Structure 1
């Protein structure tokens, strides 16, 4: 008699990976805001690992532009710069408008997916859960990009997400009413998918990016 094999267990993340994920999440969620200094010992204690994997994690984060290392002092969390904001907004506009144009012929299934993401945003906002609101907001945008069917652009957009998260967190926290504006603008994009003309849809996508850029620039 043969027996079914036991399901393979996924490998546990390495100590360096745990330290990396812990600190990266803390940076992106503004637990460690830009301009603050964190030590290797602080990270090691928080993650329960030795300093060697912490150093590996910090080197990865430095390569990603999130920290600057100072020997024997620790890591400085890099603040979001005006140049970074401008570059990310420009990249977003290029990718998202291209994706919006590509998905128009296949907008019926896209609308259902975007409606689900918008419902998640509204629920998170009603609950006062900023982290969940940010996640649903990113998912709304990524849904459009993924639906365009270009894997390279989707990967590029994934890399933009981390930078967007730090900026988006700041805009939602520091700009009164911006969450309500984002919800309204996402609803406008969803409604534009009912039109037979793609221009209202493309205009709604562009307007949302431009309005976000205006808010982000005022935060500098």
Structure 2
């Protein structure tokens, strides 16, 4: 009788030094540990992340692509300043992509995606804890689930490309205007209800209200109109 082959033990998943550095720096920027316009030093980052400078440099290159920082010749890495113009452009891009997705979902009477509905409770908990970074991450997942539910993979990919900027803007929004929490939660519920009713016009109307300009943010970004 053949001897059964013992199962291969699962190997622990290891995070590369570059990935670890990327996540550490990204989260520090989102939390506001590094102020907008601040220069961050490779050597200091290496010490804080407990790695060599090469993974930190790789992380900074990736963060520049995702528009968290700018790498300036002979000056180093500078945390990008989010401007009122950029805020408006992000909202405009979201309106285009999300409106199309909502209308398509309603035409098919596809109902609300389970993933989006399930995220509402998680967002409520993050909001109560005033964990704005987590709230913004969950908010992106909520809207991305709706866009993916449309079934257009290209549009879903385009929307996912907005994630770094959308999360950073969302975090800043809640830090500047925490009183909007109840309004945002209510609008999410209204959006789900309109999707379930296959009411495309109401869906788009709620979305436009949801992504309207927040006076507190316009004021906060008012001195930074240029890129």
Same topology, TM > 0.5: yes
Residue 202, structure 1, aligned to residue 207, structure 2: no
Q: In structure 2, what is the Cα distance between the partners aligned to 1:144 and 1:52?
A: 38
CA separation in 2, counterparts of 1:123 and 1:13?
28
SS, match of residue 6 in structure 1: coil
Cα-to-partner distance string for 1:161-219 (whole Å, 9 max, x where unaligned): 1101111111111124111111111111122234354322222122212x256664343
Partner of 1:114: 116
Query: SS state of the match for residue 145, structure 1?
Result: helix
Q: Look up the match of 1:95.
A: 97
Q: What is the CA-CA distance between 1:37 and the residue it aligns to?
A: 1.5
For residues 196 and 40 of structure 1, do their structure 2 counterparts lie closer, same or farther at Cα, with a shift above 3 Å needed? closer
8 Å contact from structure 2 (residues 176, 216) kept in 1: no
> How do 1:8-19 and structure 2 match up within 5 A?
8-9=10-11, 12-19=14-21
Residues 1:56 and 1:2: Cα distance change in structure 2 (over 3 Å): same
Q: Which runs of 5+ in 1 are unaligned?
A: none
SS in 1 for 2:206: helix
Q: What does residue 136 of structure 1 align with? A: 138
Match of 1:30 among 23, 29, 32: 32
How many residues are aligned here?
Answer: 218
Deviation at 1:128, TM superposition (A): 3.0
User: 1:71 offset after TM fit, Å?
Assistant: 5.5
Structure 2 counterpart SS, 1:108: coil
For the 8 Å contact 1:39–1:73, the answer to whether it is kept is no
SS at match of 2:162: helix
1:170 aligns with 2:176: no
Residue 142 of structure 1: how far off its partner (Å): 1.0
Taking a change above 3 Å as real, the CA distance of residues 215 and 14 of structure 1, as seen in their structure-2 partners, is same
User: TM-score, normalized by length of structure 1?
Assistant: 0.86
TM superposition score normalised by structure 2 = 0.84
The 3 A distance-change label for structure 1 pair 179 and 66 is same
* Residue 127 of structure 1: aligned partner: 129
Alpha-carbon distance in 1 for matches of 2:111, 2:151: 15
Counterpart Cα distance in 2 of 1:103 and 1:57: 38
Task: Report the counterpart of residue 225 of structure 2 in structure 1.
Answer: none
> Retained in 1: the 8 A contact 2:30–2:133?
no
Runs of 4+ in 1 over 6 A off after TM superposition: none
Q: Render the CA deviation track for 1:58-100: whole Å, top value 9, x for unaligned.
A: 2222233322234665411111123321221111111110111
Is the partner of 1:76 in helix, strand or coil?
Answer: strand
- Which has the larger displacement, 22-31 or 147-156? 22-31
| Separation of aligned partners in 1, 2:218 and 2:201 | 27
